[in-house]
Amino acid sequence: MRHSGQERFSLAWRQIIFEKRRLAAALAGISFAVLLILVQIGFYSAMNDSATKVLKHLNTQLVIIPAGFEFFGSQHDFARPRLMQAAGVAGVDEVLPLYYSFCSFKNINTGYQRWILCMGLQPGSRMLTLSDVIAQENKLTVSGRVLFDRKGLSNYFGNVVERFNRDGLFAATVEGHSVTVDGLIDIGVTFAAFGNILMGEQTFFSLFPNDSPGLVNVGLVRLDQGVDPQIMRKKISNILGGKDIKVLTRAEFVQHEIDYWNKTAAIGFLFIVGAIMGFIIGAVIVYQILYTNVINHLPEFATLKAMGYSDHFFSALVLKQSLILSVLGFIPGTLLSWIIYRYTAASTGYTMILSLDKAAIAFTSTTIMCMLAGLLAMRHLKKADPAELFR
């Protein structure tokens, strides 16, 4: 028997909306699944973005890190003479040491000591390509001057940003020493640190007198123009040798950081598991709704079968219902996710953006989830014998 796509859609739509409570339950379940998927994807993306922002903006082609290096902020270092060895390799333009350490910052409102990541740079070397850092780098030539991360967790450190915007330069306490906040920069919260402070090397070692300039946390290796970074990485690794250091391209350094948080620390894995759980939960809910719909309408379906409607018709019908449910559930789930994204970004400082690619991933997952549930529910319909349904 012939039947149009419009006919199947009309029937699918009428069956879905026939029982309003069941439809509401289905949409609530699908929306929750979409919400869970999008939020987990958002956290996963925010983790990778926040963890690698500084690394992506290092003004270098190669980096040298200690062999035990775990993540940007881990307390590992290597001898500075090893970095100077790299400076003598043909094709290397210059090398620069980057120092960092977690330090105590006195909350300017409460007086409580909070941990923040301090980075010591060579002023004038443009070690970071962040525009606000470049514009204010000359301030770091003055001992005791620092640049504060405006995207850090504000409640954690006090109203530093508001005070600077209102009063300009003011004194803060870092590692028990007085420093002058002379500017604001945009870096943001990471899983390792709730905020960041940039300073010149002189200021850095005045705050950490027990640390030695001879021990470098990360070495930047800038190459001559036109030199291939991969070739130079192998060349420097061969010349320097030893098991105390690693030479990486900037892209490899970024990937190393992502791998740490995703594999070693397993935080990224947890977010992926959360997204998968959302997928499974949604599939189960949709299956229950479609299965119940099939069972409740078996006599009607049997009548249609007896009239000559093929299994293809019923397959298309159930799949259309699956698609309709996925679209209807995706819209409120996405809107709720957008609200949570904005709230999370405002509360934590993490970069949470509901981009088109995230929405596309969620919609594709939702559609597949509903289609799989529809295919499972459809098995019961195909097994039904019209003659038996009227006994």
pTM: 0.78
**Least-confidence region, from 60-69, 108-117, 201-210, 350-359:** 350-359
User: pLDDT-derived band of residue 305, with 50, 70 and 90 as boundaries?
Assistant: low
pLDDT of amino acid 351: 79
Tokens of 223: 């190459």
What Cα–Cα distance (Å) separates residue 6 from each residue in 16, 303, 378?
15, 20, 20
Evaluate whether 221 touches 170 at the Cβ level (below 8 Å).
no
CA 186 from chain center: how many Å?
Answer: 17
pLDDT of amino acid 391: 52
pLDDT of amino acid 6: 59
CB atoms within 10 A of CB 320: 20
**What's the pLDDT tens digit per position in 18-66?**
667 777 877 888 888 888 888 888 888 888 888 888 899 999 999 999 9
Percent of the chain whose predicted confidence (pLDDT) is above 70: 86
**What's the pLDDT tens digit per position in 343-361?**
888 777 777 888 888 888 8
Q: Residue 62 contacts by C-beta under 8 Å, 6 or more apart in sequence?
A: 220, 221, 222, 223, 229, 232, 233, 236, 247, 248, 249, 250
Beta strands in the chain (DSSP E): 62-66, 78-79, 92-106, 113-121, 145-149, 170-174, 177-185, 196-200, 215-216, 218-223, 245-249
SS3 content of the chain, % helix, strand, coil (to 5): 60, 20, 25
User: pLDDT-derived band of residue 217, with 50, 70 and 90 as boundaries?
Assistant: very high
- Is 70 exceeded by the pLDDT of residue 205? yes
Q: Residue 100 contacts by C-beta under 8 Å, 6 or more apart in sequence?
A: 72, 73, 117, 118, 119, 120, 217, 218
pLDDT of amino acid 23: 76
- Is 50 exceeded by the pLDDT of residue 2? no
Evaluate whether 228 touches 137 at the Cβ level (below 8 Å).
no
- Higher-confidence residue of 377 and 238: namely 238
User: What is d(CA 301, CA 295) in angstroms, rounded to the nearest whole number?
Assistant: 10
Crossing angle (nearest 10°) for helices 20-56 and 311-348: 50
- Is 70 exceeded by the pLDDT of residue 387? no
pLDDT of amino acid 223: 94
Task: Give me the chain's average pLDDT, please.
Answer: 84
- The H or E element that residue 43 is part of is helix 20-56
pLDDT of amino acid 105: 93
* Alpha helix segments (H runs only) across 57-130: 80-87
- Is 90 exceeded by the pLDDT of residue 284? no
**What's the pLDDT tens digit per position in 130-186?**
999 999 999 999 999 999 998 887 778 989 999 999 999 999 999 999 999 999 998
Mapping DSSP to helix (H, G, I), strand (E, B) and coil, where does residue 244 land?
coil
Which 3-state string (H, E, C) describes 317-366? Answer: HHHHHHHHHHHHHHHHHHHHHHHHHHHHHHHHCCCCCCCHHHHHHHHHHH
**Least-confidence region, from 1-5, 281-285, 316-320, 360-364:** 1-5
User: pLDDT-derived band of residue 231, with 50, 70 and 90 as boundaries?
Assistant: very high
- Is 50 exceeded by the pLDDT of residue 290? yes
- Higher-confidence residue of 386 and 191: namely 191
- Is 80 exceeded by the pLDDT of residue 283? no
